Amino acid sequence: MSKPIKIAITMGDPGGIGPEIALKAVYHSKWPDFMRFVLIGDKNIWLKYARHSRLPRPYEGKNIEETDYNKVIMWDPIPCATAKWRPGKTGKSEGSCSILWVRAAVAGCREGKFHAMVTGPICKHSMQAAGYKFPGHTEYLAHLAGSKQVAMMLIGGPLRVVLATRHIALKQVANFITRQVVMDTVAMAANGVKWLNLPRKNIGVCALNPHAGEDGLLGNEEIRIIAPAVRYLRRKGIKAEGPIPADVIFYQAMQNKFGAIAAMYHDQGLAPLKMIAFETGINLTLGLPFVRTSPDHGTAFDIAGKGMASCSSMVAAIKLAIQLANRPNPWKK
């Protein structure tokens, strides 16, 4: 048998579908013998979901090393007495627990105990109610890792999309688009494409405005910001192309023209990706010194505890984490 590859999977918000899809993913899919999974979260909730979903009872591990003998263990390094079996409900305590489990997974990755981590979906409102004033997983992970620049690469079907801005109001997007932001986003995308070992290394860069601004008639961000940033990147040897109107670039990407696309804002990039890969999309965080992937969907409180949740995106996230676990990480010093 090959040397075990250990993947940490965090529960996410206990009231969401995170526990269900994690258990389904590790038990419903056939994984290589060398795979080991550490389910991080409240053991009582794991057990209740296992019984509810008629899945095997995970082994209760006292320490991570027990994965050497057990393919799947559940591990709660920071017991959260306030975490309850409340499908569809969340609050301050759930937000606090979900973040503490992420912190434990990060510590394990940085100490070399895990080869990668896969995170279950959290509730941003509950996280912030618990005192963690971060827009989401990505920013909190960057904080824990001390990473100055991170980016979300969303992967689904033939599309790979990196976002220049993430969770901000649409009316604020133009104020956040600067030459430096565009250059950083495209450079991160280029490194991500190399990490994924894709045959195409070029990055398509979305315009911000309709028709790429129509020579300034519909906005001048393309003239002032995006086009100069692309020219600079090309001089530095990065294969960037754009700005290209958003209603054109995704069609071109579907024809395999680009290794990845740099989108200017959240829904510009995620709407087309989710249209073709709603249940199989993956979020890969670029810029961290360890591998972190996650399903590209939220907590789905409306179906939590009903046994309806698809684990397809979680399975895809685990498979990508396995692929990247032993590859050189561009951001690992």
Per-residue pLDDT of the chain (333 residues; tens, 9 = 90+): 467 899 999 999 999 999 999 999 999 778 988 899 999 999 999 999 999 888 999 988 777 766 666 789 999 887 766 667 789 999 998 999 999 999 999 999 999 999 999 999 999 999 999 899 888 889 999 999 999 999 999 999 999 999 999 988 999 999 999 999 999 999 999 999 999 999 999 999 999 999 998 999 999 999 999 999 999 999 999 999 999 999 999 999 999 999 999 999 999 999 999 999 988 999 999 999 999 999 999 999 999 999 999 999 999 999 999 999 989 999 987
Predicted local confidence at residue 1, as pLDDT: 44
HSE of 179, CA atoms in CB hemisphere, 13 A: 10
Beta bridge mates, 179 = none
Predicted local confidence at residue 4, as pLDDT: 85
Predicted local confidence at residue 167, as pLDDT: 85
Predicted local confidence at residue 255, as pLDDT: 93
For residue 154, the one-letter residue type is L
Predicted local confidence at residue 83, as pLDDT: 64
Predicted local confidence at residue 68, as pLDDT: 64
Predicted local confidence at residue 228, as pLDDT: 97
Q: Which of 223, 201, 199, 197 is nearest to 212 (CA)?
A: 223
Domains contained in the chain, CATH given: 1-150+287-333 (3.40.718.10), 152-278 (3.40.718.10)
Q: What are phi and psi of 243, to 5 degrees?
A: -75, 140
Predicted local confidence at residue 62, as pLDDT: 73
HSE of 195, CA atoms in CB hemisphere, 13 A: 29
Contacts of 324-328 with C-beta under 8 Å, sequence gap 24+, read 324/116, 324/195, 324/196, 324/284, 324/291, 324/293, 325/5, 325/7, 325/115, 325/116, 325/291, 326/5, 326/115, 327/195, 327/197, 328/195
Checking DSSP bridges between strand 292-295 and strand 116-119, what pairing results, if any? parallel
Predicted local confidence at residue 123, as pLDDT: 93
118 and 21 in contact (C-beta within 8 Å)?
no
Beta bridge mates, 283 = 154, 294
Predicted local confidence at residue 69, as pLDDT: 66
Dihedral sign for Cα 225, 228, 231, 237, please.
negative
Predicted local confidence at residue 70, as pLDDT: 79
State pTM to two decimals: 0.93
